[in-house]
């Protein structure tokens, strides 16, 4: 007999997928100018709360304790072909931020640093607030927050459903 989680008699049952991803561990971006990208990602990721994880002559990575982002120097052949959104491969990478206020703070930071902003901080979909920007190779990055207004509305509705303590009925024994 299975329980509601799909497990039976103390044995775990695999889903059709066979295994489940619990999070994205790391992403490695190949960059054209390692020195320029090192400076760019060091500033941006530092602002976003990442710490340097490790550094090698042609590769380095940062972590925020949940995920890791690495950059790696392109080889000579790779440097001949600059990144172009629309080619096979990387489209963009999104950093989910704590709040819309954090998105606005990132936007202001990017402006101060002279980073190319592709699309300014704003509402792009229903309750999806984001800023889009480019790294030195033109790869598209995003700082975003979704669901903040929906969560506020739910919290307000939940509060309004609760009756004040004085208006609650007492149970009869």
Do 121 and 145 sit in the same domain of this protein? yes
Chain segment 16-64, per-residue pLDDT in tens: 778 988 888 999 999 999 999 999 999 999 999 999 999 999 999 999 9
Chain segment 112-126, per-residue pLDDT in tens: 999 999 999 999 999
Tokens at 136, concatenated? 């030195």
Do 97 and 159 sit in the same domain of this protein? yes
Do 57 and 118 sit in the same domain of this protein? no
Answer yes or no: is 169 within a domain: no
Answer yes or no: is 31 within a domain: yes
Do 155 and 102 sit in the same domain of this protein? yes
Answer yes or no: is 63 within a domain: yes
Q: How many CB atoms lie within 10 A of CB 63?
A: 18
- Evaluate if pTM is beyond 0.85: no
Nearest to 97 by CA among 51, 129, 134, 140: 129
Whether 99 shows a pLDDT value over 60: the answer reads yes
Do 146 and 124 sit in the same domain of this protein? yes
Give the structural domain span for 39. Answer: 24-78
Do 95 and 71 sit in the same domain of this protein? no
Do 28 and 67 sit in the same domain of this protein? yes
What separation in angstroms does the CA of 104 have from each of 130, 131, 147?
A: 8, 8, 16
Q: What is the CATH number of the domain that holds 35?
A: 3.10.180.10
Do 114 and 151 sit in the same domain of this protein? yes
Answer yes or no: is 147 within a domain: yes
Do 159 and 95 sit in the same domain of this protein? yes
Answer yes or no: is 2 within a domain: no
Do 112 and 152 sit in the same domain of this protein? yes
Answer yes or no: is 133 within a domain: yes
In the chain, how many domains are there? 2
Residues with Cβ < 8 Å from 172, sequence gap 6 or more?
none
Higher-pLDDT residue of 151 and 74 is 74
Answer yes or no: is 47 within a domain: yes
Answer yes or no: is 126 within a domain: yes
Do 50 and 29 sit in the same domain of this protein? yes
Please report which residue ranges of the chain form alpha helices under DSSP H: 34-47, 76-79, 100-113, 148-161
Q: Dihedral angle at the C-alpha atoms of 34, 38, 44, 47, nearest 10 degrees?
A: 170
Do 134 and 108 sit in the same domain of this protein? yes
- The predicted structure's pLDDT at residue 110: 98
Q: Are 45 and 133 in contact (CB under 8 A)?
A: no
């Amino acid at each position: 007999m299975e329980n509601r989680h799909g497990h039976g008699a103390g044995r775990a049952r695999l889903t059709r997928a066979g295994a489940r991803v619990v999070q994205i561990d790391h992403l490695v971006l190949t960059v054209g100018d390692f020195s320029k990208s090192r400076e760019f990602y060091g500033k941006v990721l530092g602002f976003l709360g990442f710490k340097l994880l490790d550094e090698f002559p042609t590769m380095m990575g940062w972590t925020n304790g949940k995920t890791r982002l690495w950059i790696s120097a392109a080889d000579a052949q790779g440097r001949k072909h600059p990144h172009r959104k629309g080619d096979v491969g990387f489209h963009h990478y999104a950093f989910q931020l704590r709040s819309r206020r954090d998105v606005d703070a990132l936007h202001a930071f990017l402006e101060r640093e002279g980073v190319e902003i592709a699309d300014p901080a704003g509402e792009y979909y229903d309750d999806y607030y984001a800023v889009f920007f480019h790294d030195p190779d033109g790869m598209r990055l995003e700082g975003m927050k979704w669901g903040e207004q929906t969560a506020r509305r739910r919290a307000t509705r939940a509060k309004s459903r609760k009756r004040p303590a004085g208006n609650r009925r007492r149970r009869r024994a």
